[in-house]
């Protein structure tokens, strides 16, 4: 439905561009797009929401920790954060993060007597929490994960088999050309073969009829 090759180190910024491409190719996106964890970014999720794309992403393995960031509650009205122990993290300062947007920093001042201090943070100044402009989108995504855990488990049986088929049956384990443009072409050939293979089964079963042009 959509494919791209980029030379970025991560896929964090690719979620919305890929969904835009699906929208352009098909006229619509899936009712619920289940994306790989590599696509997760606060800005990307917020942008997807703004464009009306329904997205579901997996949680990181660290989210099971009792003092993971998602277990803290941000109280915008009081301009503070509440930890799982009920302690208040007060506003400390505003800084610019690597995404070049401002984030508000909150810090715990009651950590010395907290029973969860060692589990929460080793910072000698107390636990620090950063709240950016896309925090609400991350919170909503966390809630969706809990409500739709079964859908997330289905992602791997939908998205991963084509990659295994390319490696095992096409014996393709690495690019054999150089240059971004050439790699894009090679990838286009590979995913076209995968799509034709799937369509062929429908043609054979007469479940897909091509209209004459």
The residue-averaged pLDDT of 186-197 equals 93
Domain boundaries, the chain: 1-57, 62-133, 160-213
pLDDT in tens, 78-112: 999 999 999 999 999 999 987 688 999 999 998 88
| Eight-state DSSP code of residue 211 | P
Among 86, 176, 78, 85, which residue's Cα sits nearest to residue 131?
Answer: 78
pLDDT in tens, 115-138: 998 899 999 999 999 999 999 999
168 forms beta bridges with none
The pLDDT, as a whole number, for residue 203 is 85
Q: Give residue for tokens 């855990």.
A: 149
CA atoms within 13 A on the CB side of 148: 18
Question: What is the CA angle 33-35-12, rounded to 5?
Answer: 130
Instruction: Name the pTM for this structure.
Output: 0.83
Q: Please provide the average confidence, as pLDDT, over all residues in the chain.
A: 91
**For residue 88, which phi and psi values (nearest 5 degrees)?**
-95, 130
Instruction: Please report the DSSP string for 8-72 in residue order.
Output: -SSSTT-HHHHHHHHHHHHSS--SSEE--GGG--HHHHHHHHHTT--EE-PPPGGGGSTT-GGGS
Which range scores top for mean pLDDT: 19-23, 195-199, 207-211? Answer: 19-23
The pLDDT, as a whole number, for residue 159 is 85
41-45, 50-54, 138-142, 154-158 — which is least confidently predicted?
154-158
The pLDDT, as a whole number, for residue 191 is 93
Residue 213 confidence (pLDDT) above 70: no
- Rounded distance between C-alpha atoms, residue 107 and residue 130, angstroms: 9
| Eight-state DSSP code of residue 175 | -
Residue 186 confidence (pLDDT) above 90: yes
Q: How many residues does the chain have?
A: 213
């Amino acid at each position: 439905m959509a494919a791209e090759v980029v030379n970025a180190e991560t896929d964090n910024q690719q979620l919305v561009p890929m969904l835009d491409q699906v929208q352009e190719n098909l006229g619509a996106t899936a009712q619920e797009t289940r994306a790989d964890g590599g696509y997760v970014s606060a800005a990307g999720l917020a942008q997807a929401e703004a464009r009306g794309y329904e997205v579901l992403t997996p949680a990181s393995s660290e989210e099971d920790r009792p003092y993971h960031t998602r277990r803290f509650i941000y109280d915008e009205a009081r301009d503070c954060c509440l930890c799982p122990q009920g302690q208040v993290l007060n506003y400390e300062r505003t800084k610019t993060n690597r995404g070049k947007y401002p984030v508000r920093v909150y810090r715990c001042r009651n950590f010395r007597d907290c029973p969860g201090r060692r589990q929460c943070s080793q910072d000698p100044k107390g636990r620090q929490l950063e709240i950016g402009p896309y925090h609400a989108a991350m919170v909503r995504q966390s809630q969706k994960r809990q409500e739709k855990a079964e859908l997330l488990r289905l992602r791997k049986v939908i998205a991963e088999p084509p990659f295994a088929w390319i490696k095992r049956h096409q014996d393709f384990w690495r690019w054999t050309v150089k240059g971004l443009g050439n790699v894009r072409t090679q990838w286009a050939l590979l995913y076209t073969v995968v799509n034709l293979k799937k369509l062929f089964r429908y043609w054979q079963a007469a479940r897909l009829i091509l209209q004459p042009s």
